[in-house]
Amino acid sequence: MQTRLLDKKGIDRILTRISSEVLERNQDSSRLIVIGIIQRGDCLAERIADKLESMGDCKIDSAAIDITFYRDDVKLKAYKYVLKDEIDFDITNRDVLLVDDVIYTGRTIRAAVDALMDTGRPKSIQLAVLIDRGGRELPIQPDYCGKKMQADFNNEVEVKLMEIDGEDNVSILWK
């Protein structure tokens, strides 16, 4: 069984609200950069960066980050690295807005923070997520959240984005 949580308009409204909250908190948007976690966080990050630029008064750098080898469930620890060409600007002393589609246990975000720290030393890292489904295993909370919900551990939150899936929507799959 599947329940639709958000459609295209709902996702866009949330990204507009998050962007507005980010600008309100980051008065000096010239130091702000947006980095999305591959796959889907990077698409959302690009959309947020575009909204921030249209609302603000300066260009917002954005990039994607692959955290595959930073995950604590990957056995190939010898291959931990961030491809430097994924982030083609210096993040040192910048305010990083880290973006992901769904936060669950917090382990993906922990891995992303580790990857960012290997890239540079940001002034701050803020977290924006489209969906917070609860169930944290690590003490990590988003600064900006589109929608909060409590999903059972065996249910799945499915995010579909136009750039990858050809449509925008969020559903919960009841198993």
What is the bridge-based pairing of β-strands 169-173 and 156-160?
antiparallel
What pLDDT does 85 receive? 43
Instruction: Tokens for 34, please give them.
Output: 């947006």
Residues with Cβ < 8 Å from 134, sequence gap 6 or more? 104, 148, 149, 150, 151
123-136 tens-digit pLDDT: 999 999 999 999 99
Please state which CATH number belongs to domain 2-173: 3.40.50.2020
Q: How far is residue 103 from each of residues 91, 139, 150, measured CA to CA in Å? A: 23, 12, 11
- Tally of residues, the chain: 175
- Indicate the domain borders of the chain: 2-173
Average pLDDT, the chain: 91
Closest CA to 91 of 144, 24, 33: 33
What pLDDT does 96 receive? 97
Per DSSP, the three-state class of 12 is: helix
What is the CB-side half-sphere exposure of residue 113 using CA atoms within 13 A?
14
Gap between the Cα atoms of 70 and 48, Å rounded: 25
Residues of the chain scoring pLDDT < 50: 78, 82-85
Helices 41-55 and 8-25 pack at an angle, to 10 degrees, of 60
What pLDDT does 77 receive? 52
What pLDDT does 57 receive? 78
Could you tell me the pTM of the whole model? 0.92
Residues with Cβ < 8 Å from 48, sequence gap 6 or more? 15, 18, 19, 22, 34, 62, 97, 99, 128
Q: How far is residue 7 from each of residues 3, 14, 105, measured CA to CA in Å? A: 11, 11, 25
What pLDDT does 75 receive? 57
The percent of residues above 90 in pLDDT, for the chain, comes to 75
